[in-house]
Amino acid sequence: MRFSLLDRAITTVDFSSDAAVLHAVTTHAKSAESMGFHRFFVAEHHAVPGIAGSQPAILANHILNHTSTIRVGTGGIMVPTYPPLVVAEQAATLQALHRGRVDVGLGSSVGFTQPVREALRQEDAVAVKKRFGEDLAEVVRYLRGEAPITQRPRLAAEAASAPPVFVLAGYRSALEAAHLGLGVILGGPIDTQVAAAEAYVDNFREGALGSPHIIPSLHVAVGEEEAWASDLLLPEAYSQAVSQTTGRFEPLQPARNLDLDALSEQQRQRVRQMQAQHLTGTPERVHEALHGIADRIGGSDYTIDEFLITGDIPDREGREESERLLMEIARGW
């Protein structure tokens, strides 16, 4: 089993600036490489309080320049934000500079508020999202050299010259990926991922990949003690519960600094709901649970061989220990 990581460049109380956050993402990638993680993805969020990462292609290039073996990906470039040609140019530039180490994740999200959508020229968000399948297909045509114009930098004619493309997918986007022969990175509750994976495999049309490629994503934290592991992901759930009910987006801080009793019952319920989607526990428990999830999502027609580990953990020493234990699970799979 292979494990990969997503770092969303979340602000925490430890950092004095967004620039410090971005440098910390690079440090995280170097640590992931030394531990043996397979891929390291960075995300795209525009004008979202508490998230410093807005340009994944630029950040990925910086990380690629400061690492040597780990694969680095955009997780992902939001296709509705750019003309398809620009998306293809970003992917091709990364591939030209770092061939063999680049993965291109593409998503369908629009700006998270109306002012942000207007700033991104996405005033009609419904129409923009409806066009995702068409725009995604256009990006793929550029990368495969099948478009009426040629992107620059131009990739070689052979299929292997294009970077692997994954769609960040729920059910609908998984179908789009299947029709184009692309890989998928699934998100959301496990039941949703199971349904999306089944639809994806059933509708897959052979493309550059040749066969389906599914990477489930999960919020995971591992520790020698169950409660310690659960506390690693508590700050993210706490922050989201507060932001959704008050509109305040404060930097994440370790669980030891949080006061759950100060939350309203509605907020505490929201924290519990989010924690129910987390996979936390001892190495033995997490190993067993991941086996079961891999069997459920893969089914009888596909074998899951990689997980993307997500979740924002402000305790950097705790995150490092969790990731070390994850790689022990990978080696003992």
Place of tokens 């932001």: 243
pTM assigned to the model? 0.96
Could you give the CA distance from residue 49 to residue 52 in angstroms, rounded to a whole number? Answer: 8
Q: Greater confidence, 210 or 75?
A: 75
So what's the architecture of 2-220+283-317 in CATH?
Answer: Alpha-Beta Barrel (3.20)
Note the pLDDT tens digit of each residue in 96-107. 999 999 999 999
How much of the chain, in percent, has pLDDT values that exceed 70? 98
10 beta partners: 51
**Which among 147, 143, 131 has a CA at the least distance from the CA of 88?**
143
Assess whether pLDDT exceeds 80 at residue 233: yes
State the average pLDDT over residues 11-27.
Answer: 94
Note the pLDDT tens digit of each residue in 196-219. 999 999 999 987 678 999 999 999
How much of the chain, in percent, has pLDDT values that exceed 90? 89
Assess whether pLDDT exceeds 70 at residue 157: no
Could you give the CA distance from residue 315 to residue 303 in angstroms, rounded to a whole number? Answer: 33
- What residue ranges do the domains of the chain occupy? 2-220+283-317
